[in-house]
Structure 1
Amino acid sequence: MALFLAGVFTAMPCRSEPVKVPDEIIYKPSPVPDRIILTPVGDPSRMMAVTWRSDTSAPQGYAQIARAEHGPGFVSKALQIPSATTSLSTETGAAIYHSVIFTDLLPETGYVYRVGDGLNWSEWFQFTTASDQSAPFSFIYLGDSQNDIRSLWSRVIRLAFSKAPEARFLLHAGDLVNNWWRDVEWGQWFSAGAWLNGSFPSVVTPGNHEYYRNEGSEASLLTPHWRAQFTLPLNGPPDLEETAYYFDYQGVRIISLDSNRLLRRQAEWLSTVLADNPARWTLVTFHHPIFPSSSNRDYPALRERWLPVLDNYKVDLVLQGHEHCYSRSGQQICQNVAGGTTVQCATSGTVYVTSISGPKMYDLHRMDWMVRAAEDTQLFQIIRIDGNTLSYQAFTAAGDLYDRFDLVKPPDGKPNQLISYPPVMPERLRHPEALIGIW
């Protein structure tokens, strides 16, 4: 037996060394559709946009859609819609981005769809339209993904969904990638979200890493990837299409602002959007924070242009990124309430959150406007809105609850009541004693 085994082992060939597959090969476009993503485009109870990528072998694409059924019978009933197309050439090759807007949908209804060229099809995805009435729902909020997306960010977006499988959409507060021109980074971002992107809408706002400047020019230019791969509402101010926009979701107005440029123009537009706002709740997202998380990172132009508008219309919650740390605002404590919670003063205004979901970390300088803060921590947030209550929870990448509060909207139109819950874990700060700023 020993001789037999020895003969077997000596006959086996030597193992060759592994070869690294270049990212340009991994994320190269092909006839098979990829980077499939749903986005809001209008009334989410009756419309949905889908965008995807292919190579140039079949320039015309199609989406097929049908009402979801208990079995496979929907396939023969699917409606086929030709796509609009945009060409984009990058280091991974020439590609065509396709987009279709599904219209005339029914509220609170499941739909199945697939995309392709008529021969090479994706799998069937399924989504559910919003209600056309105010109704409870939740969503996931993510700060910058940006760096090491495939290796270190994928787990965060996937854990977020496992914690909130009932979430209706995902909100990304800018800096989705680090280098706007690198198609392989965009490939990693889409790969990390995988089937989630095709099943739940993504609300995206651009960060500074989605912009660039040509040599000798002061003008900021949006990466060509943005409008090629995201189909978003066109109701924003001129020259800010698909970066500044809004939509209403089940009694909540959700507004994206572009904090990279044209701040005054957006302030005027924002005032108009907020003045004519039938929604009970209002959420605004943009990339650069209103209040700094460090003494060497501050954006006073945002406070000058946008803060008066946000205050005037009593926006409920602002969701931001950029700082590569976590901070959440609050004001002085008025009183204690049962259970160890605390209530914010009735004169308080908007709650501001800055968060980070990717692995790139910056230092934080603890300031007294911060109710809760963290360094060196990847997080995701689950936000639920039900009637007069908005519930917020922030979790670490290990799945532990890090921050929690409720906003309760009084029926008499007075300012929201902010209820902060006692933390279940210590603040994750490098220098917790360093309170250096007052705002």
Structure 2
Amino acid sequence: MINKFRISIALCLALGLMVHFQSAAQVPDSIPGKMAIAGSRPDRIILHPGENGETSIAVNWRTESAVTESFLELAPATPGPEFQKDVKQFSASTSKFTTQKEDEPILNFNNHAVKVDQLTPGAMYMYRVGKPGLWSEWFQIEMPDSKAGFSILYYGDAQTNILSQWSRVYRESHLKSGRVDVTLHAGDLINRHNSDLEWGEWFKGGAFLHSSIPTIMTPGNHEFRDVKITEHWRAQFNLPANGPAGVKELEETAYEVNYADVKLISLDTEQIDESSEMLEIQKKWLREILTNNPKKWTFVFIHYPVYATKAERTNVKLLDDFRPIFEEFGVDMILQGHDHAYARGQANTIAGSDKLDYHKGPVYVVSVAGPKMYDVNKQEWMVRSAFSTQLFQTIRINGDELLYESYMATGELYDSFVMTKKKGGNKIVNKIPSTPERNGSREQ
């Protein structure tokens, strides 16, 4: 009886401490507090393309602080377990990380990073991370080969209710589309820039998909505080550092990923919006990398939209300083976020006029993947728009033809077009389904 009494007291104390921890940290119900705590086995494993997306990869993962040495092992994929005889091992660079967001607990852990190059386009590989006795599972990946075709999954903001409501969109998108070459996020992955609990939701929401499909992202305003990007960004991601040379503020936020036929460009629009110096630096860099650009297809992905879903939200700096560059160099698509609504259309400046041609020029898309919603005001540039709709987009390229499809969270097609490369400009044929346009307002 005495032993049972002692056990009961111990249990009550333990439960009391757990309740105290969750109360003090205000851990939301959608994510257990333990998800913020790193362990000895790797978690938050994420795969990125390298600067050459067809021949290189970059992987990042997290462990507790006690794990000071970690590795990546890689082998060509085989139909059976025989791949194990051809495993190559790569030592990771390890960095210590400490974080606390206001009412959240202080967290200490290590981040590990490895880059691997000289891989074969179109080949399949397997990799795992960790160390003997503490390995992750093996992940199977396929290197892109854009000459044989190329595919993108593109998402607008996740931002809020990430695990509870954004995750279904991310998971449905992969079930719907199958294997793609890259996933692309247009900023505001989370709501509070250095909330490790929210970052934990984002990683759990994508789970093994983050580890299996190369992922790239551009930062949104919610990844910043006082024009400084969250310390999580460069610690937990392993993005290309080939942006404007020598500009530390833009490392891994303004960059490019190149494939044989495709160029993907991230611009840091928060710093464009807040700093005239960063605006001019990125403007100069963008012009440099687009001059004599040999790629057949070019995409720019940014957070703030050039053309917004409400006219008053249009970013004048992007409109005045970057739209002319997009038009001059024939950028095919501008993939955007921020507005928590959907719109797609074209716009091109008519020489010698202040009017626009809405049948030529780059295609601009604004989309949202999470449940936070804003209103939409119909404008001339829009071909299709949607209010209060979570979506994901697939872009599939085959030679001179591009198929764009936007799906609602339920997997139902909402918008589509085919773009074909032609002399004098791209030709677009709309393939919009019969689904009624989702109009409305938060005031209704």
Matched, 1:294 2:310: yes
Q: 2:397 maps to which residue?
A: 385
* The one of 409, 414, 428 aligned to 2:438: 428
SS state at 1:75 partner: helix
SS state at 1:140 partner: strand
Q: 2:243 maps to which residue?
A: 236
Matched, 1:122 2:136: yes
More divergent stretch after superposition (239-248 vs 29-38):
239-248
Distance in 2 (CA, whole Å) between partners of 1:347 and 1:120 is 56
Q: 2:364 maps to which residue?
A: 352
Q: Which runs of 5+ in 1 are unaligned?
A: 1-16, 214-219, 333-343, 433-439
- Superposed counterparts of 1:86-235, under 5 Å: 86-90=95-99, 91=105, 93-131=107-145, 134-213=147-226, 220-235=227-242
What displacement does 1:331 show? 5.8
What displacement does 1:198 show? 0.6
Q: 1:337 maps to which residue?
A: none
What displacement does 1:104 show? 2.1
Distance in 2 (CA, whole Å) between partners of 1:422 and 1:351 is 15
Distance in 2 (CA, whole Å) between partners of 1:359 and 1:274 is 35
The residue identity in structure 2 corresponding to 1:146 is Q
Q: What RMSD, in angstroms, separates the aligned Cα atoms of the two structures? A: 2.1
Deviations, residues 282-311 of structure 1 (Å, cap 9, x unaligned): 111000000121144231011111111101
- Superposed counterparts of 1:384-423, under 5 Å: 384-410=396-422, 413-423=423-433
The residue identity in structure 2 corresponding to 1:177 is I
Q: 1:36 maps to which residue?
A: 45
Q: 2:76 maps to which residue?
A: 67
The residue identity in structure 2 corresponding to 1:185 is E
The residue identity in structure 2 corresponding to 1:258 is D
The residue identity in structure 2 corresponding to 1:405 is F
What displacement does 1:24 show? 2.9
The residue identity in structure 2 corresponding to 1:420 is N
Change (3 A) 1:212 1:431: closer
Distance in 2 (CA, whole Å) between partners of 1:391 and 1:126 is 26
Question: Which structure carries more helix by proportion?
Answer: 2
The residue identity in structure 1 corresponding to 2:44 is R
Change (3 A) 1:92 1:70: farther
Equivalent pairs counted in the alignment come to 396
The residue identity in structure 2 corresponding to 1:59 is T
Change (3 A) 1:390 1:92: farther
Distance in 2 (CA, whole Å) between partners of 1:292 and 1:77 is 51
Runs of 4+ in 1 over 6 A off after TM superposition: 344-347
For normalisation by structure 1, the TM-score amounts to 0.86
Q: 2:5 maps to which residue?
A: none
Q: Is the 8 A contact 1:24 1:92 kept in 2?
A: no
Q: Is the 8 A contact 2:62 2:109 kept in 1?
A: yes
What displacement does 1:400 show? 0.8
Q: Is the 8 A contact 1:346 1:417 kept in 2?
A: no
Change (3 A) 1:367 1:42: same
Deviations, residues 143-180 of structure 1 (Å, cap 9, x unaligned): 00110000001110000001111311110000000011
Q: Is the 8 A contact 2:170 2:206 kept in 1?
A: yes
